[in-house]
Structure 1
Amino acid sequence: MTTMVTAARTGPAAPAYSGPSEAPDVPETEIRRHELADFLRSRRERITPEQVGLVRGRRRRTPGLRREEVAQLSAVGVTWYTWLEQARDIQVSPQVLDALARALLLDRSERSHLFSLAGAVDPAPGTECPSLTPALRAMLRQLEPIPACVQNSRYDILAHNRTYARLLCDLDAVAIEDRNIMLLAYTNEEWRSSVMDIAEVTRLMTAKFRASMAEHLAEPSWKALLKRLEAASPEFRETWARHEIVGPGGRSKVFRNAYVGLLRLETTDLWLGPSAGPRLVTYAPRDKETRERLQRLQDLVPDAED
């Protein structure tokens, strides 16, 4: 693996660092490098050779793994990894961070912390939303009859409450791998017939999807979804070709629900992390009639967790 290295290759070693609380004038980038170096070192020292399939040997004095062992397991250069633990000013790609996370046996929270310190976006696809806790699922149920769901930036529906399950289609009848709003909006006829002005809605959704995908262009899951949409929908191909971009945000929506009739709603996105990733989306009624119809919709759905 070839690793990009900046001018720090021939520069002096990183200066002594006492910690962010004692260095108010230190640039944020330098603070991040030192915090990243300390984090990597602490995780390297806690892993035994046996945990990663290496032989301990008789003369081992280093607690945990040696730097050269981490470099070997991550397929990076020993000198480069040493500089990383020395907080040198070098560049590290998301792919290398991914390799380091695997070599150091980081759990989900530690992996997220690693990428945050490095200021990089995690390229690993299909990981469970770390914010999807039992407490959040309970809150989804407590929001009823207001429809609500948790989505990620790729528009996958990660969790939902009962009224959302019947808002636009029978979502519980949709296979889990197909519970993606882009797919449903372009390929599910029940969903499409429930959305007033479907052409404008899908245009805006596609523009938001393109904006989100800018940070995930190389990720297999995003490329697979794009390929699937292009194969399934000529309408999507035409809309995608416009290269329109729209940022995230809530807006008023009108749905014609198959069970209770017209619903006038206001959507709100509540982000579950520091970046535009997983979010809680709620659909609040805009008038009394809609509020009453949402209550009737809730009463029609069996009382079961999603």
Structure 2
Amino acid sequence: MTAVPAQRRRRPELAAFLRGRRARMTPEDVGMPPGLRRRTPGLRREEVARLSGVGVTWYTWLEQGRPINASAQVLDAVARTLRLDRPEREHLYRLAEVPYAPEPSASDLPEVGRELQGILDALEPHPAVLYNARYDVLATNGVYERLFFRDGQELDTGPFGVRNALWALCSAPEAVCPVVDRRRELSLMVARLRGAYGRHVNERAWEEFIRGLVETSPDFARLWRGADVVPPGARVKVFRHARVGEVRMTSVSLSVNGMPECRIVVHTPDDEESRLRVASLCGATTETTNPAPLKGTGSGDCGAKEN
């Protein structure tokens, strides 16, 4: 049996979706008099076309599911006329096979409810953070804050004014970089970002984020050109802290139902020495002074250059 092309499957759905959205609108909704002799509920096709600034024939063909091309600007105009909310607008774009590119904004980030924040808090004394696929920091627990945001030092933000772990790693001066092997960690994070990017090509928020990183960090630009992709997985990282010294942590990612592409990353101490040092950040033990370096860790250099 011959497979039906995706475009031919989507066009009838697009036609039904537009007819349904048009039928729920009334002339009063768009400032028009109700008029007489309306045979069907909602707006007429020619009214939607006129209000959207497109040709009646073109809109009729679009609503009939014909194989015509639509631009983002035209779809935006139709969406405004039909008063589509964000999920409906995204659905319209997908059915018309046009990349969905909302205006980037911090308000687009998902809300973190009390239940999820409670889970992060309950994971203490393990540092835990909630990321999206772009490494925006959506929520943390207290020990994560004390490990990475010491002495009032905040993560640098990306172009949308949101704390972002990748942006911070690319832009952090050597004196405040919390990662011992910065080059290795940056390489892995960029490769994972590349894998997520495949689902967001041509989305304005993602394109601006990546363009900003390329302009900010030569290291990121070089790694991005390499186009490496790695899957998520547990791995050991070594962090430095001004008060407790170096800690070796295993990071594990946990998916979150109802929050696509978001994950909780939990850091667990990889040895007893690290456990004690992290615990001291929670006030569970006496503060460590002049801690000895962890066995088997390199000195690491946040600002190290390649040989």
Could you say whether these structures have the same fold, taking a TM-score greater than 0.5 normalized by the shorter chain as the test?
A: yes
Distance change in 2, residues 1:88/1:197 (3 Å): same
Change (3 A) 1:34 1:161: farther
Amino acid at match of 2:35: R
Q: Is the 8 A contact 1:148 1:280 kept in 2?
A: no
Matches within 5 A, 1:238-249: 238-240=222-224, 242-249=225-232
Q: Which amino acid aligns with 1:185?
A: L
Query: Matched residues in 2 for 1:111 and 1:182: separation?
Result: 30
Q: Deviations over 1:221-267 (max 9, x none)?
A: 33433443344333334434x43321441230313241544132123
The answer to whether structure 1 residue 234 and structure 2 residue 215 are counterparts is no
User: Is 2:101 the counterpart of 1:123?
Assistant: yes
In the alignment, is the contact (CA less than 8 A) between 2:180 and 2:240 conserved in 1?
no
The answer to whether the Cα contact below 8 Å between 1:168 and 1:190 also exists between their aligned partners in 2 is no
> Is structure 2 residue 41 aligned with structure 1 residue 41?
no
Structure label with greater radius of gyration: 2
* CA deviation after TM superposition for structure 1 residue 285, in Å: 1.6
Between the aligned partners of 1:79 and 1:191, the Cα distance in structure 2 is 63
Q: What secondary structure, in the 3-state scheme, does the structure 2 residue paired with 1:166 have?
A: helix
Is 1:268 the counterpart of 2:261 in the alignment?
Answer: no
Aligned to 1:3: none
Query: In the TM superposition, what are the counterparts of 1:197-212 in structure 2 within 5 Å?
Result: 197-212=181-196
What are the within-5 Å matches in structure 2 for residues 1-306 of structure 1?
A: 30-52=8-30, 54-59=31-36, 61=38, 62-92=40-70, 96-115=74-93, 117=95, 121-124=99-102, 125-126=104-105, 128-130=108-110, 132-170=112-150, 173-174=154-155, 177-189=161-173, 193-214=177-198, 216=200, 218-240=202-224, 242-258=225-241, 259-260=243-244, 261-270=246-255, 278-285=261-268, 287=270, 289=272, 290=274, 293-299=277-283
CA contact (8 A) 1:207 1:246 kept: yes
Residues paired across the two proteins, number: 272
> Matched residues in 1 for 2:191 and 2:249: separation?
23
Secondary structure, counterpart of 1:173 in structure 2: coil
Q: Does the C-alpha gap of structure 1 residues 102 and 295 become closer, same or farther in structure 2, counting only changes over 3 Å?
A: farther
1:110-158: per-residue Cα shift (whole Å, max 9, x none)?
A: 3344445556542113352357445434433344444333333333223
Question: Which segments of 5 or more consecutive residues in structure 1 lack a partner in the other structure?
Answer: 1-24, 301-306
How far is 1:198 from its partner? 0.6
CA distance in 2, matches of 1:188, 1:134: 31
Distance 1:35 1:191 in 2: 56
Shift of 1:101: 3.0
Asked whether the equivalents of residues 168 and 255 of structure 1 are also in contact (C-alpha less than 8 Å), the reply is no
**1:199, 1:37 → 2: CA distance?**
50
On the 8 A contact 2:234/2:251 being kept in 1, the answer is yes
CA distance in 2, matches of 1:203, 1:257: 19
**1:272 Cα deviation after fit:** 5.5
Percent identity over paired residues: 40
CA distance in 2, matches of 1:295, 1:221: 38
**Structure-2 separation of matches of 1:133 and 1:296:** 28
Q: Which residue of 2 aligns with 1:21?
A: none
TM superposition shift of 1:186: 1.1
Instruction: Go from structure 1 to structure 2 and tell me whether the alpha carbon gap of 1:111 and 1:167 turns closer, same or farther (over 3 Å shift).
Output: farther
Q: Deviations over 1:79-105 (max 9, x none)?
A: 333233333344545554444333322
Q: Quick one: structure 1 residues 134 and 84, their matched pair in 2 at CA, closer, same or farther if it must change by over 3 Å?
A: farther
Gaps of 5+ in 2: 285-307
- CA separation of 1:190 and 1:48: change in aligned 2, threshold 3 A: farther
State the distance in 1 between where 2:128 and 2:42 align: 46
Mapped contact 1:145–1:163 kept (Cα < 8 A): yes
Once residues 58 and 85 of structure 2 are traced to their aligned partners in structure 1, the CA distance between those partners, rounded to angstroms, is 24
